[in-house]
Structure 1
């Protein structure tokens, strides 16, 4: 069974006013086409999705628990291939379970889980759902289903490919399926796979089969599950289908004429390799022809097209302005300024490119962002950043000096800020001493003013989408400037939200954005709230579980201390003699107000600026933030707790917490 190709992304309707820009755009598209063709078989296919018939009583609160549960599962699945967890309480409880089949490599397991995690939220606001992907399984529900072996939603999938038309194949396949399903309950990890041949089948022809139960079952439940799936797949798929799946609540059984559970051999798979070579060569030829054809047509039709199309999205006008003004830089000039992009001059790296320090011939210091050309989003990223940043000017936003579009890659040129980014100081035990209370207060307020300008003060309404410590740059006086607008999006005046692919950094992403992919200013406000709480505690949100002696996440600790009236205990020790309790508590409270689970309760950024400068004004009481039920390896078990980890006896090691940045994942 072959994965179905995904829908192509919408094209960005750019009409640059220079042939070299057109060449870069087409070249980037050609690279993407070749890459897509070569990897077309890599995406895991979705076998079946089942959504519950009942809706959650409180969808908004249920969503928060859903995201929390899937994050807990992710920590374990990426480490061991299996994870089960729950979060919330009462009507807001969400249980979840994820498992990769044992034959997947760790990388394939992560890719499979990522596919599941992006697609499963389509079931919301249903209070339950499951998805079977070729190689893994993910399920959530309002009740604890983790010990269930079978239920009414059990099903099967048979391929459209026909099996060898011989009785011997059907007999061999049926016998093999019975063998693996009988052996799986007693095998390690409840996984068993074998192959077999039949004398009447063509020489070398074999059939392959595997069975696996989830680790949350016991051996008796596993045996019941595999027997049920076995009977269904043998009865429904044999003798006609070359491949079949039995998909149960607690297990998967599969047979195929292809060795699906064996790793690819070097030098093997000649047919697949040949097919990929043909695709790449064919795509390259087509791309070269397309470049020649488009340039020819563009040259011939330029007088008629310029006026009609160049400014459909404003990009043509921006490029013309850059090329005719002092914003245009020569590629060779920037290459020399950075010493040929020497690693010594590298300032940082993000999802779309690396940033290097450079010195121009006149002595000016600059920061050069070198964009990657190996993704289809490249053109969107480049013109998006040029278009948006060229329209905004504010003391707390990094200034765009220009760009280069004439060389083999596109470059953005920004003002150089000597103290680099906030994370280099805030999370370093020695460097953080440079961030006293006065400087941290200025950073908190300055970042708020910059965001307020983006949301409501500039001519275009902009959502940054990736507010975090590494994107807050510091000048020579440690004044903050928000940078990296590669993921930013602008809104029309009458738009309430944008439906967009998931992009940003986990740990800073709002729960409603992760679940629904609907982008509003509230997502930026949540990220800002997390940033503020990191600034006053000196602790990084994504790894606070691992570093905490209590084994609690940063949000858990903050909420616990807030309710107990002991927030000063979690203040960065470096600040305790530098500020009054009233000053510190106000910043804590602003951070918690911005990081509330409900987006409707988060204050707009102009209001945040007002709160920070309000003196002794009484602030509203914040409600509970999301992700407060995440527990780390040092957490003590609590029988009455609202969050628990459901792992098998063979899998008791703690999960790790790693920051994960994503961009371009389609959530809807």
Structure 2
């Protein structure tokens, strides 16, 4: 008997391997790290783009345009860029789709993983990546109607021993069933299972194909996976340009009532038992991890291998920076929710009152992972070494209790975003205060980049990380993602970290970090401050369906930028003052990092009245359009500009490494 099911994939692949396939580089990945969806295969084109910088910008914009549709419906296709010759063409086409058995949240996680990994193919002019549950592809030509091509392949998993007798025949029959049914099924997806021996299979085509192209695609993938993977492999993938076919000994999708056939009670009981066992196993693992973490946090040599943290602990304990854990717990009234000021990527911040009457902000971090511990010690090391009027002052920390705490000066007006994006509170931000925030933030960044003893890149400049004191003077906060440079370093190669929507395109694509990434983020922030609009939700709020960057660029070229000035600022500043700030924001947010001005130059430009400024070049992401631009919700829409175009809300998402926060 066969039953169609849907659910979350749990794949384990063999050790990583690389091989050449018809001129394209194909990588078969191993297990996913940190619970991220496993990479099944990556195919990179053999030809490099002739204009890498322009191609990179179009690449990021295209993937931005795909994301919103993927998170809404599981599928998205888009293109961006222009060019009239082979030397100047920067057009990039893209397509992304989640397999139907993924939940919306798992789809977002899968897309985020593919989004971070696919740029590894650049500067190749084409690439695709197959993950355990989703697919993402880009190229210099329109491939969206391709069902098969020369890079189609199969991936077989022969680990875990030989399959049970009869499995090969059962799996082959299932693969035949699902590939026959998929072209006529909803969203071109069909899955089925059988017992004795247990076997599972699914097939899905991309929604850009028609039914006949889907039928050709799954037939080709079926023949390849059966020929190359059976009878010896316990799992096999047929990976084509337009579809995926998969079989396995494991239920890689969860149960769902599809009406696709009968199925007896033993099958249902088997799945229920499997799920319950998995839940109890997960709870046991969590419990063990929790106990281990508690014990580990109390060892003197807790972080001997984490950026020299053992030495830091001893130094802090002997310095004026050290606070007692119990003192801070009492100061925050046992971390009472009433005192909670906000939620960050690595913990919560609470207001506290010390015994001497001082008000402080206590950042509460749990050592749930190695990464979080690293962020804590990184922040202690960096912030304790920098002092500037526009940087939040670190008063100390606690490293003795069950969790580690950072203690900062308390700023009564919280963060800029609480005022700037609130229809009533923004009245407190007149032109004079906004200009002071813009200038002060620039001065703080200039100090970090070039005036402090250590050269620091913040990596997460945004409105919520600019705090305001009682006079609304700005102070840059949250150095958990910051990185310092050696004097002889031109850049750092790091995992992706920051907030989408504020992240520079070259950093998203290549992961090479320079001060120019902060400058781009600052430019976006400046444009938000003068317009009073969030970068991430301007598509939804615009009658034209344009992103904030596109809207500003359109009005800049038309000479009508004053129409975008926050209405609250009318009559508070001259046209020249407003246009100068718009202009500086655009200069900082240019697509090419080489033409963005350094922050010391930005401070100089803001402080000089009437000085002639260079003409800005086009910013990235201006081709991002929302569904308001036309009534077709199935068209290309905007993506992952982590402000509101990213997983989990979807645009205040910040990410570090592969993980969203």
TM-score scaled by length of structure 2: 0.86
Matched residue, 1:354 = 348
- Correspondence 1:380 to 2:399: no
Shift, 1:275, TM fit: 6.7
- Structure 1 residue 279, shift from structure 2 partner: 6.4
Structure 1 residue 210 corresponds to structure 2 residue 202: yes
- Contact 2:297/2:403 (8 A) holds in 1: no
Aligned partners of 1:249 and 1:96: how far apart in 2? 12
CA change 1:454–1:281 in 2 (3 A) is closer
Q: Distance in 2 between matches of 1:585 and 1:40?
A: 47
Q: In the TM superposition, what is the alpha-carbon distance from 1:284 to its structure 2 partner?
A: 8.2
Q: Out of 448, 453, 474, which is 1:454 matched to? A: 448
554-563 or 327-336, which moves further after superposition? 327-336
Q: Give secondary structure in 1 for the equivalent of 2:247.
A: strand
The gaps in structure 1 that reach 5 residues or longer are: 7-37, 198-203, 300-308, 639-643, 648-653
Q: Is 1:592 paired with 2:586?
A: yes
- Matched residue of 1:246: which SS? strand
Deviation at 1:115, TM superposition (A): 2.1
Q: Partner of 1:566 in structure 2?
A: 560
Work out whether residues 65 and 637 of structure 2, in 8 Å CA contact, stay in contact via their aligned partners in 1.
no
Shift of 1:112: 2.0
**CA distance in structure 1 between the partners assigned to 2:428 and 2:284 by the alignment:** 58
1:66 to 52, 59, 63: 59
CA shift, 1:637, in A, is 8.4
Question: Would the aligned equivalents of 2:162 and 2:232 in 1 still touch at CA under 8 Å?
Answer: yes
What is the CA-CA distance between 1:403 and the residue it aligns to?
1.0
Larger deviation, residues 169-178 vs 394-403: 169-178
Q: Give the aligned partner of residue 645 of structure 1.
A: 636
For residues 28-83 of structure 1, the C-alpha deviation after alignment (integer angstroms, 9 at most, x for no partner) is: xxxxxxxxxx9979443222111001111211111111111112222122222111
| Distance in 1 between residues matched to 2:330 and 2:57, nearest whole Å | 50
1:235 corresponds to: 227
Contact 1:130–1:140 (CA under 8 A) maintained in structure 2: yes
Contact 1:3 1:41 in 2 (8 A): no
User: In the alignment, what sits opposite 1:2?
Assistant: 12
1:187 deviates by: 0.8
Count of residues paired in the alignment = 607
Match of 1:268 in 2: 274
Distance across 2 between alignment mates of 1:286 and 1:313: 21
Alignment map for 1:288-437 (pairs within 5 Å): 319-437=313-431
SS at match of 2:573: coil
Indicate the residue corresponding to 1:84 in structure 2: 77
1:630 to 624, 628, 632: 624
Alignment equivalent of 1:181, drawn from 179, 182, 186: 179
Secondary structure of the equivalent of 1:92?
coil
C-alpha contact 2:501 2:536 (8 A) present in aligned 1: yes
2:204 is paired with a residue whose SS is strand
| CA deviations over 1:479-529 (Å, ceiling 9, x no partner) | 111111111111000001111111111111111111111111000000000
Separation in structure 2 between the aligned mates of residue 417 and residue 273 of structure 1, nearest angstrom? 43
TM-aligned CA distance change 1:594 to 1:42, over 3 Å: closer
Distance in structure 1 (CA, Å) of the matches to 2:287 and 2:403: 23
Q: 1:340 to 1:164 in 2, by over 3 A?
A: closer
* Alpha-carbon separation, structure 2, partners of 1:178 and 1:186: 14
CA distance in 2, matches of 1:600, 1:40: 34
Report the secondary structure of 2:119's partner residue.
helix
Q: Distance in 1 between matches of 2:316 and 2:328?
A: 16
Structure 2 counterpart SS, 1:585: helix
Q: Say if 1:469 and 1:321 are closer, same or farther in 2 by CA, change over 3 A.
A: same
The whole-number CA distance in structure 2 between the counterparts of 1:365 and 1:520 is: 36
Q: Secondary structure at the match of 1:414?
A: strand
Listed as ranges, the gaps of 5+ residues in structure 2 are 1-10, 17-30, 84-88, 256-269, 639-644
Q: Does 1:536 align with 2:536?
A: no
Task: Work out the CA distance in 2 between the residues paired with 1:283 and 1:409.
Answer: 15
- The structure-2 alpha-carbon separation of the partners of 1:380 and 1:291, relative to structure 1 and needing over 3 Å to count, comes to closer
Higher mean C-alpha displacement, 582-591 vs 133-142: 133-142
CA offsets per residue over residues 381-407 of structure 1, 9 Å max, x none? 111111111111111111111111122
Q: Within 1, Cα distance between the matches of 2:414 and 2:53?
A: 38
Q: Secondary structure at the match of 2:41?
A: strand
Distance (whole Å) between structure 2 residues aligned to residue 368 and residue 450 of structure 1? 22
- Tell me which residue corresponds to 2:191: 193
Q: What's the CA shift string for 1:413-462, capped at 9, x where partnerless? A: 11111111111110010111111111111111000001000000110101
Superposition deviation, residue 379 in structure 1: 2.2
**What is the SS of the residue equivalent to 1:179?**
helix
CA 441–291 in structure 1, closer or farther in 2 if over 3 Å, else same: closer
Say yes or no: does 1:526 pair with 2:524: no
- 1:119 is matched with 117
Confirm whether residue 467 of structure 1 aligns to residue 461 of structure 2.
Answer: yes
Question: What residue in structure 2 maps to residue 54 of structure 1?
Answer: 47
Q: Is the 8 A contact 2:419 2:426 kept in 1?
A: yes
Q: Contact 1:506/1:660 (CA < 8 Å) preserved in 2?
A: yes
| Corresponding residue for residue 242 of structure 2 | 250
Residue of structure 1 equivalent to 2:652: 659
Task: Return the alpha-carbon distance in structure 2 between the equivalents of residues 381 and 88 of structure 1.
Answer: 37
- Taking the aligned partners of 1:602 and 1:342, their CA distance within structure 2 comes to 44
SS at match of 2:627: coil
Tell whether 2:505 aligns with 1:511. Answer: yes
Query: Helix, strand or coil for the counterpart of 2:147?
Result: coil
The DSSP-based 3-state class of the residue aligned with 1:370 is strand
Distance apart, 1:549 and its partner CA: 1.5
**CA deviation map 1:331-351 (0-9, x unaligned):** 111111111111111111110
In the aligned structure 1, how far is the partner of 2:324 from the partner of 2:308? 23
**Which secondary structure state, in structure 2, belongs to the residue aligned with residue 67 of structure 1?**
helix
C-alpha distance 325-178 of structure 1, shift in aligned 2 (>3 A): closer
**Cα separation, 2, equivalents of 1:312 and 1:374:** 14
CA 1:550 to 1:449, structure 2 compared with 1: closer, same or farther past 3 Å? Answer: same
